[in-house]
Amino acid sequence: MSTSSQHRTARSHRASRHRTALWKDSWRAIATNGKRFAAIVVICAVGIMMLCGLNSVSRDIRGGLDDFFDRTSMHDIAIVSTLGFDDDDIAALRDVAGVDKAAGVRAQNVTTKVDGRQASATVTALNDVGVDRPYLAEGRLPDAGHEIAVTRQYLDDSGRKVGDAIEFASESSDASGTNAAADAGANDMFADGEYIIVGVVIDPNDIVNPTGPLALVSGAKTVYPLFVDGDAVTGDTPYTSAVITVDGAAALNTYDDDYLAKVADVQSAIETMQDGQERHRTDAVKAEALKQAMKPIDEQKRKVDAMPDMLPMKAVAEHKIADAEAKVREKIDGMDDAKWIIRDRSAVTSYEDVKTQSEMISRLGTMFPVLFLVIALLVSLTAMARMVEEDRQLIGTYKALGYRRGETMLKYLVYSLAACLLGGVIGDILGMVGLPFVFTRRMLTRLYVLPEYPMIVDWRLAVGGVLLFVVIITGAAMATCAGSLRLAPAELMRPKAPKAGRTIMLQRVGIVWNHLSFLGKVTARNLFRYKSRALMVIVGVLGCTALMTAGFGIGNSALTLMPRQYSEIVRYDVMAVTAADDHDDAQRNLDDNADVASSLPLQVGSVTLAAADGSADSAGDAKLTAQIMVVPDGESIADYIDLHTADGQSIALDGAGSDDSGSDSGVQAVVTANAAKKLGLTDGSKVNVTDMMADSVDVRVAAVAQYYTGNVVFMTQNAYEKAFDADIAPNADLIKVKGDADGQIRFADDLAEQDEYLSVMSSAKQQRDFAKSFATFFVMIGFIVAMAAILAIVVLYTLASTNISERARELATIKVLGFRRGEVHGYVNKEMLLLSAIGIAVGLPGGRALLGFLVSKLDLPGMNIVPNVQWFCYAAAAVLALLFTLLVGAATNRSLDRIDMVAALKSPE
């Protein structure tokens, strides 16, 4: 072998041994610097858990609803007609390009007894193609004429069980907003008699948990869904609605753009044939109505034809018959034409609620990891800087021996990369499995009654989150190491010169400095000496305190929604709703009731709100369901509902009627704050109001009223009648009841047992039930506090340990000088406590600002959460932050006790 070959072989062996030594040194560094390694692992794990977990929860919610809709063949498009549908309409819809299935639905509003009280329900006959098929939770679906399926809520409220019998009676349509199309000519749509409960189902059109906060906030009356077999339908009654599924839509996620585009295409195709089918249905209904109306007239004609021609009374009879026929034809011609209202799934409240919830969680899943990424950067910079500082001599030795830059940096690259990857794996597992489990099982089940949620794993997010932290933290490690590698080996092999002492700012304030003790002056000088570490402590505690303040503030703001609603705004004790025809009798009974202090009759109904075309602050195509309250002329709502703006200015409803001054302001209404926020409405904006008869008008927003729970539109009788060209029909009362809260609840219960009342809502009971249902926010508070605790402990422990490591010689010196154990602890811990106090002081108002930001992102349906942080929220956050500091101090005191004075004071030369 040649000499050059031998040299190359020797160099190769040396390089191999060097690489092996470097790798061993790299892995050894993890064991010898385990606490710093663990700190980076924990921060990475938590940050990635929140990034992946919250986004996974968002996808799981949407995926759960999408799977549920697929199982139940939930309609993609639903159509309601003011004159119903016949088989020809359904056949025409089936022929539209892109339609998979189309079915006619027969449904009717009814009343039934629930625990001895009158209650509202909707009976729906199962259609023959299985669209909108209820999800079977127990038993079976009805397959005979007198069988019925009910919801779990109905069984719980009524005390009945599978196998029991129930009865129901038709509920007449009224101005309260019940579906007139569902009742038109349908008083005998379903056979009379008892129906046997054969199954327990979930209605795909309403998955909101009836005992959860969303249901309580809405304030809507309870309407129980009931399902019967098609054999229960009597006669040839028209379909009340049509439901349609789109070909290929079930394979797509119901919230994805491609799904929405596919449904929109079919909806456009339906709209092209809409006019023809509306004309067809109008002609058919008018022809049938004319036929029925002409039967007695035709009978009279036959009798008159049989009379002798010479009788004078024959001519008179023929004239009367002609007049009657003309009036009938005039009346028939004056009937409203059929009008279709075509809606996609966005009209389903649950669909929009889930969309809103998932978007909110996704926003939080982006915001929180950013905070932890910043903290991870600070922790890793501190940890790696100290690690490099401790290895100065080793790095100098490597450089002197000729190691290349990359070989020297390998140790720190492996260290930081291993921490990121380990933290990433832990974070992915917790985020993809643990966090979704907690949120879906503990939170979402309080909101929705979906049978299950899929576990959707997005590997792109899982890997991308890890890579993000890898780039940031390894980049910080490389940047720290690169600074030392720029120095000469000789300089690196000598200890770093301590920072020169300088006059600090506090020394210039004699009145303070002169009154400090010796140790106080030392503490002050140390704080100014190590500015970067002091800043990191402050930032860490600030973040911890701000998170906890925001967490407690969210809970307090949410839990005070109902109390604020019923102390600041709602002054009535009971709202009682009847059918319009029963209201007069109910009103007389209230007037004679000794427990009633006063009552206000009004019309209550349901409407759909949307920003009107051309509104300057339009929120796109957003729509929401709201309650409308119409106050009769001559009555004042002020004693029952305190309408005022967010800044406390009173709103006079009398001034929000119709404007007859000739300006274009037209009809006006007062809209509550949450609806205004969702639709982008302000004073002077126009809002589109559509009632249940599909009559739609644009009204101007006279004012936006503060309101914490629910969406409401207030109008005067004059404004309503001008807008909808219809007389109001009072169907409800706002009632003030004598006595305490228990008495008010008893009064409401007694009222609910009377047959004329469709729903009775007690303000006192609403408040009690709402507080019980808000476990959702307690989970959120616990989660935020836990994250804040991890943040504080990791940051404080890392910085405290680094502080002790850097100042080992100094601390050994004061031990030699005779400082007792407690004095040494106080010497170090006092600095940490002072820095923590500064962080807490800044973090409390910072938390209030963070709460305002979070609340702006929390988009809970029907809730207008206004930040409300009471003193005990601040106190709890401050005490916990201080407690974390003390716990970390107690943990690091053991490190102080273990300092080897001899080893620390030895010269590194």
Q: Residue 105 pairs with which residues in a beta bridge?
A: 241
H or E segment and range at residue 643? none
Q: Kind of pairing, strands 623-631 and 712-716?
A: parallel
Distance CA(100)–CA(96), nearest Å, equals 9
Q: Do 775 and 866 share a domain, yes or no?
A: yes
- The answer to whether residue 441 is domain-embedded is no
Q: What's the pLDDT tens digit per position in 267-316?
A: 999 999 999 998 998 888 888 888 888 888 888 878 777 777 776 777 77
pLDDT, residue 442, reads 62
Dihedral sign from CA coordinates of 678, 684, 685, 689 = positive
- Distances in Å between the Cα of 293 and the Cα atoms of 86, 233, 325 are 20, 25, 9
CB 237 within 8 A of CB 184: no
Half-sphere exposure of 147 (CA within 13 A, CB side): 15
How many other CB atoms sit within 10 Å of the CB of residue 87?
11
DSSP classification of residue 491: H
Q: What is the largest distance, in Å, between two alpha-carbon atoms of the chain? A: 148
- Distances in Å between the Cα of 900 and the Cα atoms of 97, 167, 811, 812, 814 are 84, 86, 10, 7, 12
CB 430 within 8 A of CB 53: yes
Q: Do 186 and 292 share a domain, yes or no?
A: no
Q: Do 768 and 668 share a domain, yes or no?
A: no
Mapping DSSP onto H, E and C, the string for 754-808 reads: CCCEEEEEEHHHHHHHHHHHCHHHHHHHHHHHHHHHHHHHHHHHHHHHHHHHHCH
Q: Pick the last residue of a domain from 682, 702, 737.
A: 737
**End-to-end CA distance of the chain, in Å?**
45
Q: Do 258 and 289 share a domain, yes or no?
A: no
Q: Do 634 and 649 share a domain, yes or no?
A: yes
How many other CB atoms sit within 10 Å of the CB of residue 724?
18
Burial 234-271 (b: 16+ CB within 10 A, else e): eeebbbbbbbbbbeebbebbbbeeebbebbeebbeebe
pLDDT, residue 737, reads 92
**Domain limits for position 149:** 75-284
Q: Do 728 and 837 share a domain, yes or no?
A: no
Distance CA(668)–CA(750), nearest Å, equals 37
- The answer to whether residue 420 is domain-embedded is no
How many other CB atoms sit within 10 Å of the CB of residue 43?
30
Distance CA(265)–CA(434), nearest Å, equals 40
Q: Pick the last residue of a domain from 295, 310, 330.
A: 330
- Distances in Å between the Cα of 9 and the Cα atoms of 69, 155, 320 are 70, 86, 126
How many other CB atoms sit within 10 Å of the CB of residue 68?
23
Q: Pick the last residue of a domain from 284, 319, 349.
A: 284
- The answer to whether residue 772 is domain-embedded is yes
3-state secondary structure of 862: coil
Q: What's the pLDDT tens digit per position in 238-265?
A: 898 999 999 999 999 988 889 999 999 9
Q: What's the helix, strand, coil split of the chain in %, to 5?
A: 55, 15, 25
Q: Do 280 and 290 share a domain, yes or no?
A: no
Q: Do 719 and 793 share a domain, yes or no?
A: no
- The answer to whether residue 909 is domain-embedded is yes
- Distances in Å between the Cα of 851 and the Cα atoms of 206, 647, 674, 706 are 31, 19, 18, 19
Burial 188-220 (b: 16+ CB within 10 A, else e): ebbeeeebebbbbbbbbbbbbbbebbbbbbbbb
- Give the residues of the chain that fall short of pLDDT 70: 1-22, 26, 171-187, 211-221, 311, 376, 440-445, 495-502, 613-621, 654-666, 771-780, 858-862, 900-909
Q: Do 550 and 619 share a domain, yes or no?
A: no
pLDDT, residue 182, reads 37
| Of the candidates 390, 570, 359, the residue with the CA atom closest to the CA atom of residue 480 | 390
Determine the length of the chain: 909
- The answer to whether residue 605 is domain-embedded is yes
Domains of the chain: total: 4
pLDDT, residue 868, reads 82
R_g of the chain computed on alpha carbons: 37
Give percent above pLDDT 70 in the chain. 87
CB 174 within 8 A of CB 221: no
- The answer to whether residue 557 is domain-embedded is yes
3-state secondary structure of 625: strand
Q: Do 193 and 148 share a domain, yes or no?
A: yes
| Of the candidates 766, 618, 645, 651, the residue with the CA atom closest to the CA atom of residue 707 | 645
Q: Where are the beta strands (DSSP E) in 633-751?
A: 668-672, 686-691, 696-705, 712-716, 732-737
- The answer to whether residue 576 is domain-embedded is no
DSSP classification of residue 658: B
Q: Against a cut of 0.75, is the pTM above it?
A: no
Distance CA(14)–CA(690), nearest Å, equals 84
pLDDT, residue 261, reads 92
- The answer to whether residue 661 is domain-embedded is yes
3-state secondary structure of 600: strand
Q: Do 243 and 313 share a domain, yes or no?
A: no
The answer for residues whose C-beta is within 8 angstroms of residue 747's C-beta and 6 or more apart is: 573, 574, 595, 737, 739, 762
Q: Do 300 and 196 share a domain, yes or no?
A: no
CB 578 within 8 A of CB 664: no
The answer for residues whose C-beta is within 8 angstroms of residue 416's C-beta and 6 or more apart is: 40, 380, 384, 473, 474, 476, 477
